């Protein structure tokens, strides 16, 4: 009896210790607007690994608008609850792109996390919110190609680089455009859990292994790209609503990419559809709008298995190659590079 009791306590202690040993990664969200892929891609990759505890955290428990489409996600934890349950703070903080870059309370919180020993990683234009804290001053960093000129003027004390898909400077990592969320998160996973876990996770999600090489000069707004914008915006009679049906257990990476991409064509907006609330594969609750269109012009299935390539292929079939490549350009994906057009 005593032996069984001791053995049971040992197993319980082992399980508790193993759970506690997992690094805690929090993905910040802003209810006013958080870019869908910037949030969903890191969450999907880290949660799929099983080696990391990952939570979507916001200042309040209000549903978070996933821009630029029409969907909302429920935060899994507020900052106040995070402080109560994890007084030591998270191991890593991920900052997606927000609709509002300047937030004094958020900036103060981020400075405190860095002082407490957390790593910080911004995704795409999340670097603008991070730069506003002053934490990038004197460091090397990168950002989405479209923001290069503005951030160079606004934050001249940052050494902005455009020759890497992600840049690591001490405890801070910044990434280039939206599509860099995938390789940068895989590289983070390698640091947190090792090469084998990273490779296994990439294989299960059908993601290429992370490669930091990048030619930032190959991503810019050209006359051809401007023509896509003007042509699609002027053709208002072709404007479409696109339904993205969600079912329980849906893939977060596929959903975030599709919601984002179909809403960047300048002729369509994607809407989450299905039940009022649907739980994803790894436990995120996504809400559709309270009032959705009575009819949709198009229904798009969630892309699989190669999520981004499949998404761009769907856009090409629907709206033509130029629009699809322009969306890929906004994602700063190699298929959208100016030289690929």
Residue whose structure tokens are 């009679």: 237
In this structure, what token pair is assigned to residue 57?
Answer: 């955290």
Give the model's pLDDT for residue 238: 86
- The band of 10, judged by pLDDT with boundaries at 50, 70 and 90, is very low
Are the C-beta atoms of residues 296 and 302 closer than 8 Å to each other? no
Q: Which position has the higher pLDDT, 232 or 237?
A: 232
Contacts with 202 (C-beta within 8 Å, 6 or more apart), sequence order: 186, 208, 209, 210
Are the C-beta atoms of residues 56 and 76 closer than 8 Å to each other? yes
Give the model's pLDDT for residue 3: 46
Beta strand ranges found along the chain (DSSP E): 24-29, 34-35, 53-58, 64-67, 72-73, 77-78, 92-95, 119-122, 140-141, 159-160, 166-169, 172-175, 240-245, 268-273, 277-279, 285-287, 298-299
Determine the average pLDDT of the residues in 2-20: 45
- The band of 21, judged by pLDDT with boundaries at 50, 70 and 90, is confident
- The pLDDT tens digits of the residues spanning 69-99 come to 999 999 999 999 999 999 999 999 999 999 9
Determine the average pLDDT of the residues in 98-115: 97
Residue 244 backbone phi and psi in degrees, to 5: -115, 95
- The band of 235, judged by pLDDT with boundaries at 50, 70 and 90, is confident
Q: pTM surpassing 0.85?
A: yes
Preceding omega of 305 cis (within 30 degrees of 0): yes
**Given a cut of 60, is residue 20 above it in pLDDT?**
no
d(CA 166, CA 161): 9
**Given a cut of 60, is residue 12 above it in pLDDT?**
no
**Given a cut of 90, is residue 313 above it in pLDDT?**
yes
Give the model's pLDDT for residue 315: 98
SS3 for 272? strand
Output helix, strand, coil percentages for the chain, rounded to the nearest 5.
45, 20, 35
**Given a cut of 80, is residue 7 above it in pLDDT?**
no
């Amino acid at each position: 009896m005593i032996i069984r009791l001791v053995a049971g306590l040992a197993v319980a202690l082992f399980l508790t210790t193993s759970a506690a040993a997992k690094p805690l990664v929090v993905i910040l969200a802003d209810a006013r607007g958080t870019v869908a892929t910037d949030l969903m891609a890191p969450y999907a990759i880290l949660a799929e690994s099983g080696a990391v505890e990952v939570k979507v955290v916001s200042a309040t428990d209000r549903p978070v608008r996933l821009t630029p489409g029409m969907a909302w996600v429920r935060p899994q934890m507020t900052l106040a609850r995070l402080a109560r349950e994890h007084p030591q703070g998270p191991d890593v903080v991920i900052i997606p792109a927000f609709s509002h870059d300047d937030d004094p309370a958020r900036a103060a919180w981020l400075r405190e996390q860095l002082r407490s020993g957390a790593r910080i990683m911004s995704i795409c234009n999340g670097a603008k919110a991070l730069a506003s804290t002053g934490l990038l001053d004197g460091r090397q960093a990168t950002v989405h190609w479209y923001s290069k000129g503005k951030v160079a003027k606004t934050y001249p004390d940052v050494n902005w680089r455009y020759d890497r898909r992600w840049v690591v400077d001490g405890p801070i990592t910044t990434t280039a455009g939206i599509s860099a969320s995938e390789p940068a998160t895989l590289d983070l996973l390698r640091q947190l859990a090792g090469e084998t876990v990273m490779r296994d996770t990439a294989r299960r999600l059908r993601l290429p292994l992370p490669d930091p090489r990048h030619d930032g000069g190959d991503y810019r707004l050209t006359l051809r790209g401007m023509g896509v914008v003007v042509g699609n915006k002027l053709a208002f009679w072709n404007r479409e609503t696109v339904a993205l049906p969600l079912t329980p257990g849906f893939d977060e990476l596929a959903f975030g990419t599709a919601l984002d991409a179909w809403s960047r064509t300048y002729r369509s907006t994607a809407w989450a559809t299905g039940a009022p609330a649907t739980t994803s594969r790894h436990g995120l609750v996504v809400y559709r709008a309270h009032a959705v269109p009575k009819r949709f012009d198009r229904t798009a299935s969630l892309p699989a298995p190669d999520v981004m390539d499949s998404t761009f292929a769907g856009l090409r079939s629907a709206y033509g190659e130029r629009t699809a490549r322009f969306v890929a350009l906004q994602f700063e994906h190699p298929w959208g590079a100016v030289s690929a057009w």
